[in-house]
Amino acid sequence: MKERRTWKAVRRGILAGILALLAGTPPSEAASWRIVGERGCSGGTAETVSLALAAGTPCIAFPDGERDGRATVLRFKGKDWGPVGERGFTPGPADRLGLAADGGTLYAACLDWTAGRTVRVFRFGGTAWEPVGEEGFSGERADDPVLVVSGGVPWLAFTGGRFSSALTVMRFGGTSWERVGGEDFPGRGITGPSLAVGEDGLPRVAFTDGQNGLRVTVMRFDGDSWRPVGRRGFSTGEAYDPVLVLKDGVPWVAFTDGAADMGATVMRFDGTGWGVVGDRGFSPGQADLLRLAVYGGVPYAAFTDFGNRRRATVMRFTGGRWEAVGGEGFSEGPVGWAGLDITPGKGVLYAAFPDEADGLRATVMRFGGGHRGWLRPDRRDRRGENPGGACP
């Protein structure tokens, strides 16, 4: 297992691929994935890709191989892709680059190795990318930054940094970044954080908990301190790269399950405890760097699928079982160790990834939207027949 953790650290520096759900039009009957714009839209290499929807329009961010790894953001313009602001806008190479949107406003976060591996956050102001907050607010030697924007407020989680903490959560207060929870975030040995903010304006985090056998833990900030959602370390075995989603107040988490041959497992909190959704380890093979969304009561999981030669696979839970969306391993080639994110919408899936079949240039694909395939909510799940509950 230690060997896998070493490779995981390498892979996370190679890619974070992204999926998103958004509005579409009535479908045809056959289902397939189609390229958005042109294949290899990044031009140069894109060792990681992050996608967000700005007012319903797909945008991608990546370390631009044609600009020494500095960050570039592209927006789909209906037929092709065009830059958002200047290409290569970060001071240096953008490591662990992530993209987020609040309506039509785009934000980006990354590690800045030119400033001692501090976290940098940027906002696109309409003509140029502008820093959010002061430089170096995280402190040096930070890692695993996760950016979320909720109600116009940027939130950030990261490990390491100025507080010498295993995990820090911060909120931008309008002029500066403020630590959430002060000095009392419990525990060390935390890796792979995932951040979500509820409609109540309070953050939750999921992580691999080194103090509890590398099992997954979810914590909630109650306004004064961090408290566990359910019990700490609730997964059966070791859990890697957990991703947390809040939907209608209900927390869901997906992770690579060390107790199920490194397959994908999804769990949901029912108000008192965590239950498995479907089977443990439901993926065709090992699932690397899972991502998760819930749409119409139906969970969607996306991952690099080792059961299909490291191609991209998306699955949904419906009718009491997990099924592939558009077929297993739908990408033409391996997807650069992709981790895939999904954001709820009205039916169209977008997948963006570094395409190893095209020299690690970014390719974006979609499923649905009046082409070939449509994602519909599961009416049974919407009536609440599957167990669920509100987050405490």
For each of the chain's 392 residues, which pLDDT tens digit applies?
Answer: 434 444 443 344 333 343 554 333 322 334 688 999 999 999 999 989 998 889 888 999 999 999 999 999 999 999 999 999 999 999 999 999 999 999 999 999 999 999 999 999 999 999 999 999 999 999 999 999 999 999 999 999 999 887 666 799 999 999 999 999 876 566 678 899 999 999 999 999 999 999 999 999 999 999 999 999 999 999 999 999 999 999 999 999 999 999 999 999 999 999 999 999 999 999 999 999 888 888 888 898 989 999 999 999 999 999 999 999 999 999 988 886 443 445 444 567 888 888 888 999 999 888 876 434 444 444 333 323 333 333 34
Residue 240, number of CB atoms within 10 A of its CB: 22
d(C-alpha 215, C-alpha 239), whole Å: 5
Q: Quick one: 2-382 is in which CATH superfamily?
A: Fucose-specific lectin (2.120.10.70)
- Are the C-beta atoms of 392 and 271 separated by less than 8 Å? yes
Closest CA to 169 of 133, 219, 123: 219
Q: Where in the chain are the domains?
A: 2-382
* pTM of the model as a whole: 0.86
The structure tokens 């009536």 sit at 383
The sign of the dihedral angle between the CA atoms of 94, 98, 102, 106 is positive
Closest CA to 42 of 350, 295, 270, 354: 354
The sign of the dihedral angle between the CA atoms of 180, 231, 272, 244 is positive
Backbone φ, ψ for residue 178 (5° rounding): -120, 135
Mapped onto helix, strand or coil, the DSSP state of residue 249 is coil
The structure tokens 């499923």 sit at 367
